[in-house]
């Protein structure tokens, strides 16, 4: 015979006691106020006692029950499930009607077999394996996407791609003019930094004039296209992924498919075209701003006159360098569009999935950009361009 009550912790007192009756029966006495803030003896203690007493029938007597809310049926449900599992007869006839109704409702639809999921901690080997499989799946997705994209571009070249021109203009506006400010700022500052860091070293040999070469070639061939691409992947790549991901969540992409309109042509082509049109222009502009930034440092900190700066650049940089940067930016544009749109369309069906898609898009784009930049630079080096 055990009793538990709590008068010290909270003001609400709820009591439960298990008493032994005759002929392997037990009586569960419930009294007090069974409310949300009450301290109640854990149900496991009652269940262990039932186990120990090997009871065949359990009667519940709520003689002193003053008030109850969800605490009571919740508690009793566990006892009821235990009784069913151990084939103990349960008598709830004395309980208030409301409690009995709630218990009946909670037990009306039996737990679907196979529905409950179990959390398992996987070993390191399993985790590695899962990652590798995930990588393989992603690569497949990429290859399929690029294949479909090539088919869509082929259709575009034959004049058969279906998308709204208005959409294209909206994307062009967003990728181009709307990105002007941030590209200006970043490329100006990068040019400045490049010039400053380089000139500090060059000044030791009195060779400050070669800042111009450093900044101009570095910007036009590498930093211009690279920085612009990274900016655009964060701005526009993520935006594309989020737009398409949200459309996926709303079943809008399914709706396009069942309408007989190819999502690749309708959604992806205008986005890719916008980037391909705008990024080279932004890159050229970034090149200019980088050179201007370098000029500011050269003139302001290292006493290189602007005329000297200009002439040095004219000697060092020729059209081939600018063309290299331009072509790189075209490649980067396509890669960013692929990364953004692929992750968007493969997005899962929840809000957090859209966030994951945007993140994955940016990470993918940056990886593609830097890897392709390295490859291109390597190849051009070998070809001595």
Q: Is 156 in the site for another protein (CB under 8 A)?
A: no
User: Among candidates 140, 164, 184, which has minimal Cα distance to 265?
Assistant: 164
Choose between 23 and 258: whose C-beta lies nearer to another protein.
258
Residue 103's contacts (CB-CB under 8 Å, 6 or more residues apart) are 73, 76, 77, 80, 92
Binding segment for another protein (CB under 8 A), chosen from 23-31, 74-82, 257-265, 357-365, is 257-265
What is the per-residue binding string for another protein in 224-253, x denoting contact by CB under 8 A?
----------------------xx--xxx-
Q: Is 81 in the site for another protein (CB under 8 A)?
A: no
Q: Is 104 in the site for another protein (CB under 8 A)?
A: yes
Report, in Å, the least distance between residue 40 CB and another protein.
Answer: 28
Report, in Å, the least distance between residue 357 CB and another protein.
Answer: 17
One of 56, 160, 257, 349 touching another protein (CB under 8 A): 257
What is the per-residue binding string for another protein in 112-141, x denoting contact by CB under 8 A?
x-----------------------------
Report, in Å, the least distance between residue 165 CB and another protein.
Answer: 11
Choose between 233 and 262: whose C-beta lies nearer to another protein.
262
Q: Is 174 in the site for another protein (CB under 8 A)?
A: no
Binding segment for another protein (CB under 8 A), chosen from 2-10, 178-186, 227-235, 259-267, is 259-267
Choose between 48 and 250: whose C-beta lies nearer to another protein.
250
Report, in Å, the least distance between residue 24 CB and another protein.
Answer: 25
Q: Is 173 in the site for another protein (CB under 8 A)?
A: no
**How many residues make contact with another protein (CB under 8 A)?**
19
Choose between 166 and 204: whose C-beta lies nearer to another protein.
166
Q: Is 3 in the site for another protein (CB under 8 A)?
A: no
Report, in Å, the least distance between residue 47 CB and another protein.
Answer: 23
One of 52, 87, 108, 157 touching another protein (CB under 8 A): 108
Report, in Å, the least distance between residue 218 CB and another protein.
Answer: 40
C-alpha distances (whole Å) from 119 to each of 127, 203, 358, 378 are: 14, 63, 28, 48
Report, in Å, the least distance between residue 326 CB and another protein.
Answer: 32
Q: Is 162 in the site for another protein (CB under 8 A)?
A: yes
Choose between 159 and 260: whose C-beta lies nearer to another protein.
260
Residue 194's Cβ-count burial label (10 Å; 0-12, 13-18, 19+) is buried
Report, in Å, the least distance between residue 145 CB and another protein.
Answer: 15
206-218 CB burial, b ≥16 within 10 A, e <16: eebbebbbbbbbb
Report the relative pairing of strands 89-91 and 25-34 from DSSP bridges. Answer: unpaired
One of 125, 157, 259, 307 touching another protein (CB under 8 A): 259
Report, in Å, the least distance between residue 257 CB and another protein.
Answer: 6
SS3 letters for the chain?
CEEECCCCCCCCEEEEEEEECCCCEEEEEEEEEECCCCECCCHHHHHHHHHHHCCCEEEEEEEEEEEECCHHHHHHHHHHHHHHHCCCEEECCCCCHHHHHHHHHHCCCCCCCCCCCCCCCCCHHHHHHHHHHHHHHHHHHHHHHHHHHHHHHHHHHCCCCCCCHHHHHHHHHHHCHHHHHHHHHHHHHHHHHHHHHHHHHHHCCCCHHHHHHHHHHHHHHHHHHHHHHHHHHHHHHHHHHHHHHHHHHCCHHHHHHHHCCCHHHHHHHHHHHHHHHHHHHHHHHHHHHHHHHHHHHHHHHHCCCHHHHHHHHHHHCCHHHHHHHHHHHHHHHHHHHHHHHHHHHCCCCCHHHHHHHHHHHHHHHHHHHHHHHHHHHHHHHHHCC
Report, in Å, the least distance between residue 138 CB and another protein.
Answer: 17
Choose between 104 and 207: whose C-beta lies nearer to another protein.
104
Where along the sequence are the contacts to another protein (CB under 8 A)? 104, 107-108, 112, 162, 246-247, 250-252, 254-262
């Amino acid at each position: 015979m055990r009793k538990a009550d709590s008068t010290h912790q909270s003001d609400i007192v709820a009591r439960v006691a298990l008493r032994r009756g005759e002929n392997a029966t037990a009586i569960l006495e419930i009294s007090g106020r069974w409310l949300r803030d009450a301290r109640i003896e854990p149900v496991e203690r009652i269940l262990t006692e039932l186990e120990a007493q090997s009871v065949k029938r359990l009667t519940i007597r709520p003689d002193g029950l003053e008030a109850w809310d969800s605490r009571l049926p919740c508690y009793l449900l566990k006892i009821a499930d235990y009784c069913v599992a151990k084939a103990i007869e349960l008598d709830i006839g004395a309980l208030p009607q409301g409690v009995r109704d709630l218990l009946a409702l909670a037990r009306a639809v039996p737990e679907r077999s196979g529905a409950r999921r179990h959390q398992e901690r996987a070993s390191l080997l399993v985790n590695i394996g899962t990652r590798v499989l995930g990588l393989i799946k992603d690569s497949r997705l990429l290859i399929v996407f690029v294949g479909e994209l090539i088919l869509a571009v082929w259709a575009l070249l034959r004049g058969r791609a279906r998308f709204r021109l208005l959409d294209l203009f909206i994307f062009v506006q967003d990728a181009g003019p709307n990105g002007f400010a941030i590209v200006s700022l970043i490329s100006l500052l990068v040019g400045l930094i490049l010039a400053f860091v380089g000139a500090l070293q060059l000044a030791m040999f009195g060779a400050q004039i070669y800042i111009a070469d450093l900044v101009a070639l570095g910007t036009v061939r590498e930093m211009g296209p690279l920085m612009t691409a990274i900016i655009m992947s964060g701005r526009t790549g993520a935006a594309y992924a989020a737009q398409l991901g949200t459309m996926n969540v709303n079943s809008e992409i399914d709706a396009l498919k069942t309408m007989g309109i190819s999502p690749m042509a309708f959604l992806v082509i205008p986005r890719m075209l916008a980037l391909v049109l705008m990024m080279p222009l932004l890159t050229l502009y970034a090149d200019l701003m980088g050179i201007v930034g370098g000029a500011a440092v050269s003139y302001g900190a290292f006493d290189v006159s602007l005329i000297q700066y200009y002439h040095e650049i004219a000697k060092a940089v020729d059209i081939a360098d600018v063309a290299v940067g331009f072509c790189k930016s075209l490649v980067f544009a396509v890669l960013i569009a692929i990364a953004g749109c692929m992750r968007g369309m493969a997005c899962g069906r929840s809000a957090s999935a859209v966030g994951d898609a945007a993140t994955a898009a940016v990470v993918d784009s940056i990886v593609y950009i830097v890897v392709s930049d390295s490859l291109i630079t390597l190849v051009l080096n070998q070809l001595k361009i």
